[in-house]
Amino acid sequence: MTDLFTLTPTQYSLVLNVLNLSIGAFGAFTLLFILLRRNVARNYSIAISLMAAVTTMAAYHYFRLYGSWLDAYALQGGQHIPTGAAFNYVLRYADWLGTVPLLLSAIMLVLDLGRQQSASLVTRMATSAVLMIGLGYIGEVQGDNLGGRAVWGLLACIPFLYILYVLWGEMSRVLSFESVRVRQLFSRLRWVLLASWIFYPVIYALPILGISGPNVLTLVQVCNSAADLLAKVGVGLLILGIAREKTEEDLAAASRTEKAQTAGMPVPVAAD
Amino acid sequence: MTDLFTLTPTQYSLVLNVLNLSIGAFGAFTLLFILLRRNVARNYSIAISLMAAVTTMAAYHYFRLYGSWLDAYALQGGQHIPTGAAFNYVLRYADWLGTVPLLLSAIMLVLDLGRQQSASLVTRMATSAVLMIGLGYIGEVQGDNLGGRAVWGLLACIPFLYILYVLWGEMSRVLSFESVRVRQLFSRLRWVLLASWIFYPVIYALPILGISGPNVLTLVQVCNSAADLLAKVGVGLLILGIAREKTEEDLAAASRTEKAQTAGMPVPVAAD
């Protein structure tokens, strides 16, 4: 799919090790999310469980991507030469098709809004994500048809913009019922997500702009992996932060209610 | 088994990555079902545990299917040429033989009907599933004997129709005792299951209708995988939704009973 160029050992091993770092990080954060979901109230732990699913899926796909990178190159005279085996770059789309709907669902579920509101948000976000990535995939496999690549890419921007609209428009109204601290964390989460997602359309546009070469190839793989780490691990940690904050707020509220009840109750009952 | 055709990189990698997406998704949802079964009452968690077993079995079989796909093709001059190694398509039947009875059992068990009723439903559904897939398998391995394929396929429709009869006929009576929300979720589950199962007979009939070629080969693998994801992950999420709904209904009922008791009891006891 992607054109491969002869790489220097530095370029080749940079990609190899960024992929390796990603596999290790996604595996480790899967474990961390599994372990830490117990540190938040049950309602919020669903979002943490979803994040564990996201990182475990990513770990597997990066493991395959790593294998594909090994197959695609052979060391000859101190240079890494393409073997002719395709580097399965579009595997990233397969990964996003599974992980992005789960990630967006986790973001929607960590606030523990009412069942109906959550269901509606999760459905719309997951559907938009599938559309965005599906359309991007069609554009990605257009090969030399750069016009087609551009058109499908622009179509993929529609669900992308809808997701941003929900995160900044609709969610802002929802957040008005949350504490200042939760609003801060959620706002940071939105910006981290956007910062990571900004990489993808830029990388997608490079072939259209005629930008290629060994340095670009290397940089694209590094940036894609960095963006994935930011979107999955970075956003996951912010989801964890929101879940912990809301857990503590719930506990504080509960103890206030209890105190109030206790105050207004006859002694024998208060004894409980 | 299935006739293989020379494929373009786009066709070949589409199948490769749909298989990869499936392995990742089944693996991730196995973890998710294991983690989330704690978020529902114990009676309903049995169904969620069954779903974890379904997805883990599917992950393994897709892993093998992926390996078989790699062995079946070699890249030559930019095209993917069949190597002569058979693509083990019927492995899908081995998977269904294990996963479909478990899936149907999970659907029957999530309602937590009485032991006897559950046992009867599970036995009949699991037996029908084994018959349906067993007969389909015999038809699948008939090779060029398309008449035989048709006959065995029609025989497989009998248990298939019986399963639909139980889901729409018998279960509708059972559901009349459930809340509106549970009935809605179960009804959606039935339709998602049917929507996914509709793929299989159509795909099975293609050779009889003389429809084949590289695009068909590609599309069949993509549709089969999509149908499996819908039937296992999609239905699994709806089972999870029903389990959560019934858990909350039980809790609500319990707290009502408790309030009633408390109200009717002398103060010191109320302290308890």
Torsion on CA atoms A94, A95, A98, A101, rounded to nearest 10: -110
Phi/psi for A95 (5° steps) reads: -65, -50
Distance CA A214, CA A14 (A): 12
Residue A262 — very low, low, confident or very high, per pLDDT cuts 50/70/90? Answer: confident
Distance CA B244, CA B154 (A): 38
| Domain regions of chain B by residue span | 9-242
Residue A268, pLDDT score:
46
Residue pLDDT, tens place only, A75-126:
999 999 999 998 999 999 999 999 999 999 999 999 999 888 999 999 999 9
Nearest CA in chain B to A62: B24
Q: Which stretches of chain A are DSSP H helices?
A: 9-36, 42-72, 91-109, 115-140, 146-165, 171-175, 180-197, 199-205, 214-229, 235-263, 267-270
Q: Of the candidates B27, B267, B272, which has its C-beta nearest A57's C-beta?
A: B27
Residue pLDDT, tens place only, B61-102:
999 999 999 999 999 988 999 999 999 999 999 999 999 999
Residue A264 — very low, low, confident or very high, per pLDDT cuts 50/70/90? Answer: confident
Residue B267, pLDDT score:
46
Nearest CA in chain B to A56: B28
A6-20, A107-121, A145-159, range with the lowest pLDDT: A107-121
Q: Which helix (H) or strand (E) holds A141?
A: none
Are A86 and B28 an interchain contact pair (Cβ–Cβ within 8 Å)?
no
Stated pTM of the model: 0.92
Per-residue pLDDT of chain B (272 residues; tens, 9 = 90+): 578 999 999 999 999 999 999 999 999 999 999 999 999 999 999 999 999 999 999 999 999 999 999 999 999 988 999 999 999 999 999 999 999 999 999 999 999 998 999 999 999 999 999 999 999 999 999 989 999 999 999 999 999 999 999 999 999 999 999 999 999 999 999 999 999 999 999 999 999 999 999 999 999 999 999 999 999 999 999 999 999 999 999 999 999 888 888 777 554 444 44
Which of chain A's residues have a Cβ under 8 Å away from the Cβ of B8?
none
Residues 6+ apart with CB under 8 A from A187: none
Give the distance, in angstroms, between the CA of residue A83 and the centroid of all CA atoms in the same chain. 32
Which of chain A's residues have a Cβ under 8 Å away from the Cβ of B9?
1, 86
Nearest CA in chain B to A33: B35
Average of per-residue pLDDT values in chain A: 94
**With 70 as the cut, is the pLDDT of residue A271 above it?**
no
Residue A112, pLDDT score:
92
Q: Of the candidates B14, B16, B25, which has its C-beta nearest A98's C-beta?
A: B25
Cα-based angle B141, B143, B146 (whole degrees, multiple of 5): 105
A60 touches chain B (CB under 8 A): yes
A180-189, A206-215, B259-268, range with the lowest pLDDT: B259-268
Residue B263, pLDDT score:
78
Distance CA A77, CA B176 (A): 75
Residue A1, pLDDT score:
52
For A72, B47, B176, the CA distances from A30, given in Å and listed in that order, are 28, 24, 41
Residue A270 — very low, low, confident or very high, per pLDDT cuts 50/70/90? Answer: very low
Residue A258, pLDDT score:
86
The domain made up of B9-242 is a member of CATH 1.20.1070.10: yes
Contact (CB, 8 A) for A41 and A246:
yes
Q: Of the candidates A1, A64, A266, which has its C-beta nearest B20's C-beta?
A: A64
**With 70 as the cut, is the pLDDT of residue A157 above it?**
yes
Nearest CA in chain B to A54: B28
A61 touches chain B (CB under 8 A): yes
